Amino acid sequence: MIEVKSFAGLRRFAPDKLQKLNLFETDGFFCDVYCLEPGQEQKAHAHAGSDKLYAVLEGTVTVSVGGETRELRAGEIVLCPAGSQHGLVNRSGARAALLVFMAPRP
């Protein structure tokens, strides 16, 4: 059964923390939408054997990978290689949303 979802329309924001909304999960990967209010973050962490992509769908986020920090705008994507410390924070005044892909699934 073919299952079409909307990554543009899937949003849920909450005042306490960033929201992770799953789109697809298989034996091999997951694909989520992350929704961040201003000030919300995903603290730096690492996955020993899994690579992750952060693709910014709307807003602006500050991403750290392996000790380096960059500001990403909508339309930009970054690789967080397996083993690297990575995290993100919404330092802007507006909501942000990202498409997040990780494989293999941890």
Residues that bind its own copies (CB under 8 A): 1-9, 23-24, 26-29, 31, 50-51, 53, 55, 63, 65-66, 68-70, 72, 74-79, 81-82, 99, 101, 103-104
Q: How far is the CB of 73 from its own copies (least distance, A)?
A: 9
Q: How far is the CB of 60 from its own copies (least distance, A)?
A: 12
Both structure tokens of 48 = 């020993």
**Interatomic CA distance for residues 90 and 42, integer angstroms:** 9
| DSSP one-letter code for 26 | -
Of the pair 8, 94, the CB lying nearest its own copies is at 8
Both structure tokens of 56 = 């910014």
Closest CA to 88 of 33, 34, 31: 34
Amino acid identity of residue 44, one-letter, is A
Of the pair 17, 26, the CB lying nearest its own copies is at 26
Sequence-separated (6 or more) residues with CB below 8 Å from residue 51: 79, 80, 81, 82, 102, 103
Both structure tokens of 26 = 């298989």
Q: How far is the CB of 21 from its own copies (least distance, A)?
A: 12
Of the pair 17, 45, the CB lying nearest its own copies is at 45
Q: How far is the CB of 5 from its own copies (least distance, A)?
A: 5
